[in-house]
């Protein structure tokens, strides 16, 4: 039996076990995916375990996406530039770190949304960990310009400076946000504003400001945030965070097994687990 783990914080809940176990079953692979809640102090011993022949590798989620970096043998370009690892691949005892949040985001946009951001003006809200993966993906995809807005402007400035080698990227101040959004084709929200719980029902955008083509929210709970319902009411295309979740999983699955991931099976399993 082959195994994959999710290295998570102690109290995390995840859709990934449902998604990957359904994919293993669909392909007839004798394999199992388990979530493991652990503290940072447990990471070195757990990574040693992953070098064993039974292990495909692991996914890594909050709060360990940064802490695993120095414990790995090699990093993909995306993992290095984003500065975070969400997928570890065990290649005969050698541990590689990858970031499939970036590739998963882009694949979701293209394959699920039918949208190619190349040559487009884009606004991204937020400057945290997810924003780094999204910025990397969009700049690599060849957007014309990526404007970054964040509640704490210093973080948007730091992110823009860090990613400027990869394309045209700039931080946008509060007072310029609405006009920049209206001029853009695509808007991506990576902040937690609108998330189920305390932040539900709020939009991260100034009232009435919408881009021209598509609004993408990386939140999937609720399935339709205030931002997405405002965008749909304005006649725009909308995409929530579930396709990104599915495709980051599909990319990890392909890295581990060498097989093409059954994306539809994974999406249905994630939706079923979410509805539970």
The yes or no reply on residue 104 touching ligand ATR (CB under 6 A) is no
Counting residues that bind ligand ATR (by CB under 6 A) gives 15
Smaller CB separation from ligand ATR, 92 or 198: 198
> Residues 6 or more apart from 130 whose CB is under 8 A from it?
101, 190, 218
Grouping H, G, I as helix, E, B as strand and the rest as coil, residue 118 is: coil
Active site residue 65: yes
| From candidates 39, 93, 118, 151, binder to ligand ATR by CB under 6 A | 151
DSSP 88: E
Query: CA-to-CA distance for 258 and 31, rounded, in angstroms?
Result: 14
The yes or no reply on residue 192 touching ligand ATR (CB under 6 A) is yes
Nearest to 249 by CA among 18, 66, 58, 16: 16
Q: Which value, in Å, is the radius of gyration of the alpha carbons in the chain?
A: 18
Min dist CB 189 to ligand ATR, Å, is: 9
Nearest to 170 by CA among 135, 141, 195: 135
Q: Which of 2, 65, 226, 267 is catalytic?
A: 65
| From candidates 87, 99, 147, 191, binder to ligand ATR by CB under 6 A | 191
DSSP 153: H
Smaller CB separation from ligand ATR, 27 or 223: 223
The yes or no reply on residue 126 touching ligand ATR (CB under 6 A) is yes
What is the contact surface with ligand ATR in residues (CB under 6 A)? 126-131, 150-152, 155, 190-193, 204
Indicate which residues carry an active-site annotation: 65
């Amino acid at each position: 039996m082959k195994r994959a783990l999710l290295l998570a914080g102690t109290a995390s809940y995840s859709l990934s076990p449902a998604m990957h176990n359904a994919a293993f079953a669909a392909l007839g692979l004798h394999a199992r995916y388990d979530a493991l809640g652990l503290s940072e102090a447990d990471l070195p011993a757990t990574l040693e375990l992953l070098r064993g022949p039974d292990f495909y590798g692991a996914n890594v989620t909050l709060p360990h996406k940064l802490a695993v970096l120095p414990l790995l043998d090699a990093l993909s370009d995306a993992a290095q530039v984003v500065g975070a690892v969400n997928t570890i691949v065990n290649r005969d005892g050698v541990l590689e770190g990858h970031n499939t949040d970036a590739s998963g985001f882009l694949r979701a946009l293209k394959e699920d949304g039918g949208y190619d951001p190349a040559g487009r003006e884009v606004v991204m809200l937020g400057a945290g960990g997810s924003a780094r993966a999204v910025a990397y993906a969009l700049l690599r995809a060849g957007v014309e310009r990526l404007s970054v807005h964040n509640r704490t402007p210093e973080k948007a400035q730091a992110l823009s400076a860090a990613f400027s080698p990869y394309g045209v990227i700039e931080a946008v101040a509060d007072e310029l946000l609405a006009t920049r959004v209206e001029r853009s084709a695509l808007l991506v929200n990576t902040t937690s504003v609108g998330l189920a719980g305390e932040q539900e029902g709020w939009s991260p955008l100034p009232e009435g400001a919408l881009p021209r083509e598509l609004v993408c929210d990386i939140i999937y709970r609720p399935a339709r945030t205030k931002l997405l319902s405002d965008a749909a009411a304005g006649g725009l295309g909308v995409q929530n965070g579930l396709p990104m979740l599915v495709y980051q999983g599909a990319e990890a699955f392909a890295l581990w097994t060498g097989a093409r991931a059954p994306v539809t099976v994974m999406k249905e399993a994630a939706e079923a687990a979410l509805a539970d």
